[in-house]
Structure 1
């Protein structure tokens, strides 16, 4: 039973809690000391702990609410087993605290949160816990147990989630939560708007309501953190309610100076968000005409140049970006030997698409494979279809090879055969059908461990002779690099990978040293031109000469790919534009006359055209190669006629008669 189901079915909230605790033959309600080794519980000792002990809590109502928190998070797999047992170890101090201050209380829902935290902090200090100079107690007791209060209050609150001051992803329809990452702490902890001043709280909530189903949950949490940081700076520096409406450039410059010093020597990419995301927030509430938006235009408050450029540590990029080619070949060749075969199609899809692991694990068997008509090939092609939760793409479709599509179809057939409403309610393609994780996709961590075991089994080592340290996300980076090396356009790669910005795609646009050399080699022998800066004449460059210090080299390599050699130059006309003058029609003109005196010109022109054909063919420009071949044939035919006839003049005889 899930929280929403309980809310809808029970008349009384406390009765609903009792109903929930009566599961498993009433074990959770009847016993105040839970045995972790029970088969319907964890089934084992965890971190040397065997029991969760509620015996010391005298208040029955609070005890049952506390039990509900533990068992609900266990059954819904919302908290890790290690976290639950670690939290259970704090119950001794927490029980004594409840017995001292709240022995008459009927519910956690009736407790004032701020007063509760203040009392609990003082209690912990009184029993020996240390407090920092900033008034913080760093302990599981202080930081973990307090979530119980928020959890119970949320349970009793029947309002729509976005009306509350703390939002939980599980209660928001359409929240962007990756299926494989839903058990992560970032998804279970809520968006806490109590960190925003009462004056601006509703403004911030209204803004987040517009993005909560468009951006990933993690993005929303991070964005709220940056906005809270922004508010905290101004309130801690003497600004009062209403400061946003009256912001001026001087205020922003002070904030920028503070960020620059506070974030000095910290991650530049993360620092960027403290300015860029705040500007996005301010711009939106201004454009949407919120009552408490800045009166001055935001573009005049925060300039584009104020946002630090994103920088990544070159050493990190070099170490973590791509899987070396020898390693990749060994992985691809041995992947069928994975000790857990259910992960084989997942690896293949990661290699085929370059998608994130969470995106592949989030595929649904009822809509992940489509056939789309291709008018050019006049056939149906297979496309993989899935939701990209990180960037908010509801349905991304990318082409895949027929063999991969056949593998996906087999996985679909298997999923349909094994799935029921109970064991796979969300139609995951790669689902867990039994056990604690029933109804959730296969775990990404298990895929990683499986591949690491394969690396050990096959003794796959790096250049230093060490077992290769595999990172799952490196498959995405590697596939992006392959797309680049195969000549695919950046904007197409952006769409395939599901990137939100082209800048992120460009970050992947790296080729190997071998490919870099090959691309350079293609241009090494090309003719280069230079422009005389005094005469503006186009002249050939002698690459073996040191002369021409007053000349500028004009490299036409890329432009030259779509070029047709014509007498005295090159034509760069676009391939789609017709032109009767592009080819040398003088050679076929009735008024044209040529003799053996022109043979050297023909031979030189033939050599130039041959080079142009070679350039076009090497660079895959077949259309321009064919045009130059047509011109070459005309030159050769004319030269042959000259050698045979000594003079070629189509209307020569008739003109002599005239």
Structure 2
């Protein structure tokens, strides 16, 4: 093989090209020294895929382009950007691609120097000349045309030394604070966010918008948002619209879009279609409020209406069935869990049952900081706490108590992980790590846990009420644990903290009790008689009114006992049960239906101390966004406490509920 002449490469490309050469020297320089790669090699895929065994680069005459193309394949394989089956399919396209490169780009030093549009035009003409069929709308539907040219995007991005968010392709691992599960995105391709399909005129606008949400929403959610934006732009441009169409959007234009969407996805359900409208509306609203220079001139509220968004379809029976694990099923699972045929998943199941945390949060535990002992002054002893990062709700370190037996199990897992881990096989110190193979260095697989439990269900013949093998969903353990917390009498605000929920409304959604428990709690409440109330006149009897403050407090207690008030952290919510909570993503403290009194002062003081600690942890961990959110929350707490101490009772409506 001819040796690559590094000195011939332009100075601004030389160091990056040297990186490519060094990368290809992995696995004893197999990738660099060989032009024919064997998929069955142990360090490669390890087997043939379909009828494909080899990837053959030997026909590419240009050494520079050949090495860059090799780098694209190896990097995509090692970073799991492409499925193995997809890599094999790409291998079958190299014959035509090689001939095309030899005929048109023999003297180029890098794919970086090739214009993509001209490249695709030439490649399309070449494929037609060798017998590929073109559709009436000028499209060649083939792997050769639709996929291989993306190597240009990959190489151009590799040579680009700008900040990741300034580039046209964002890699999740290069975005600080990106919210991606420890086990990776939900699909290999989703590890990148590619803006190249966004029209050049609007590309920087879309990138600026995604930059504002890339660390707030999950990576997969951002990936989906961009896909919907791609459709939005493609639809308008393919129907004759040009640059500046967003600035001049009218209601008629949106009605056209709704019509096109309805035709393109007429076979899809409303749940699928609604995102093509709601995500676009959110995008347009934001760039208008933020005064982007390419925002709509007309108010978005007059362009897109709420009833434009199809209502999501939810099968209530299926949701209810999947929400909680029936008690008889749960007992069988708990009693037989030690018989799992893959013992490494046993402690994961036990922690899911013990905590109610999400599967991704358990898998994200680190062996060096997941278990702590905290002094309990009341019991005069140390209690064990499980400590972890809750990525979905931006909690940098959540600590919850666990039983001694569970803590003992966690300690054994810690000892085992420490003994098995090295910087090479577990650099991030995962408690439940994969130590060898292609997934080395990432946590055990959640789907594999489900399959393991499914085999246990089959083995133990665990059946539901219809005598069918029980269908198990991992998230059902979270709902089930929340229900257990409620039935054991735990306060809703404590459950919110244990589960790591952002809003109390979400906790209420989880916190359902069984019918028997519901009756028992209702009965015990009915027996209470804190105040005697005349049912006919609705007046309190035998109460001494010492002051105006005292009268307000008594009226407040009357509402708590006799109307539909709901207990929330620091007070009581007077929202009618049928009205949706507008504060779902905020705090009840800012809600007009919220009421609080001096009896809640200890709660404020405890919460303020906790949030201050959270701010310190966030700053220490470099989580600036989390620190800022907690500071905002802290400010609300301190101001509310000041009002409570001054006025004794605070109700934003300034009107007693029984008068309304």
Say whether the fold is shared (TM-score over 0.5): yes
Partners of 2:145 and 2:95 in 1: CA distance: 13
Shift of 1:205: 1.2
Q: CA 1:477 to 1:48, structure 2 compared with 1: closer, same or farther past 3 Å?
A: farther
Structure with bigger gyration radius: 1
Matches within 5 A, 1:252-401: 252-256=254-258, 259=261, 262-264=264-266, 266-314=268-316, 316-317=318-319, 320-371=322-373, 381-401=383-403
Q: The residue matched to 1:280 in structure 2 has which SS? A: helix
Matches within 5 A, 1:401-412: 401-412=403-414
Partners of 1:112 and 1:10 in 2: CA distance: 17
Q: CA 1:232 to 1:11, structure 2 compared with 1: closer, same or farther past 3 Å?
A: closer
Q: Which residue of 2 aligns with 1:231?
A: 233
Shift of 1:387: 3.1
Q: Which residue of 1 aligns with 2:77?
A: 74
1:563 maps onto 2:565 in alignment = no
Q: CA 1:239 to 1:372, structure 2 compared with 1: closer, same or farther past 3 Å?
A: farther
CA contact 1:77–1:183 (8 Å) conserved in 2: no
Shift of 1:141: 3.4
| Number of residue equivalences | 536
Matches within 5 A, 1:187-266: 187-188=190-191, 190-249=192-251, 251-256=253-258, 259=261, 262-264=264-266, 266=268
Q: Which residue of 2 aligns with 1:3?
A: none
**CA offset digits 1:524-563 (Å, max 9, x no partner):** xx8xxxxxxxxxxxxxxxxxxxxxxxxxxxxxx97x5653
Q: CA 1:218 to 1:182, structure 2 compared with 1: closer, same or farther past 3 Å?
A: closer
Q: The residue matched to 2:196 in structure 1 has which SS? A: helix
Partners of 2:92 and 2:369 in 1: CA distance: 45
Q: Which residue of 1 aligns with 2:108?
A: 105
Partners of 1:481 and 1:296 in 2: CA distance: 48
Partners of 2:533 and 2:453 in 1: CA distance: 61
Shift of 1:402: 3.7
Partners of 1:96 and 1:562 in 2: CA distance: 86
Q: Which residue of 1 aligns with 2:554?
A: none
Partners of 1:323 and 1:336 in 2: CA distance: 19
Partners of 1:183 and 1:255 in 2: CA distance: 30
Q: Which residue of 2 aligns with 1:40?
A: 43
Partners of 1:372 and 1:105 in 2: CA distance: 64
Q: CA 1:377 to 1:242, structure 2 compared with 1: closer, same or farther past 3 Å?
A: farther
When normalised by structure 1's length, the TM-score is 0.71
Q: CA 1:300 to 1:519, structure 2 compared with 1: closer, same or farther past 3 Å?
A: same
Q: Which residue of 2 aligns with 1:175?
A: 178
Partners of 1:216 and 1:522 in 2: CA distance: 38
Q: CA 1:225 to 1:378, structure 2 compared with 1: closer, same or farther past 3 Å?
A: farther
Shift of 1:381: 4.8
Shift of 1:220: 0.9
Q: Which residue of 2 aligns with 1:51?
A: 54
When normalised by structure 2's length, the TM-score is 0.70
Q: Which residue of 1 aligns with 2:419?
A: 417
Q: CA 1:70 to 1:510, structure 2 compared with 1: closer, same or farther past 3 Å?
A: same
CA contact 1:279–1:298 (8 Å) conserved in 2: yes
Q: Which residue of 2 aligns with 1:454?
A: 456
Q: Which residue of 2 aligns with 1:516?
A: 515
Shift of 1:196: 2.3
Question: Larger deviation: 200-209 or 492-501?
Answer: 492-501
Shift of 1:30: 1.7
Partners of 1:321 and 1:393 in 2: CA distance: 25
1:22 maps onto 2:25 in alignment = yes
CA contact 1:177–1:187 (8 Å) conserved in 2: no
CA contact 2:433–2:441 (8 Å) conserved in 1: yes
Partners of 1:184 and 1:225 in 2: CA distance: 14
CA contact 2:61–2:102 (8 Å) conserved in 1: yes
Q: The residue matched to 2:296 in structure 1 has which SS? A: coil
Q: Which residue of 2 aligns with 1:429?
A: 431
**CA offset digits 1:462-506 (Å, max 9, x no partner):** 445444443333333443444555566666655544455666656
Partners of 2:140 and 2:80 in 1: CA distance: 28
The two structures, once aligned, show a CA RMSD in angstroms of: 3.9
Q: The residue matched to 1:420 in structure 2 has which SS? A: coil
Q: CA 1:113 to 1:355, structure 2 compared with 1: closer, same or farther past 3 Å?
A: farther
Question: Larger deviation: 430-439 or 36-45?
Answer: 36-45
CA contact 2:185–2:219 (8 Å) conserved in 1: no
Partners of 1:130 and 1:484 in 2: CA distance: 64
Unaligned runs of 5+ in 1: 1-8, 527-556, 583-611, 613-658
CA contact 1:181–1:358 (8 Å) conserved in 2: no
Q: CA 1:165 to 1:40, structure 2 compared with 1: closer, same or farther past 3 Å?
A: closer
CA contact 1:10–1:16 (8 Å) conserved in 2: no
Question: Larger deviation: 231-240 or 278-287?
Answer: 231-240
CA contact 2:533–2:539 (8 Å) conserved in 1: no
Shift of 1:150: 1.9
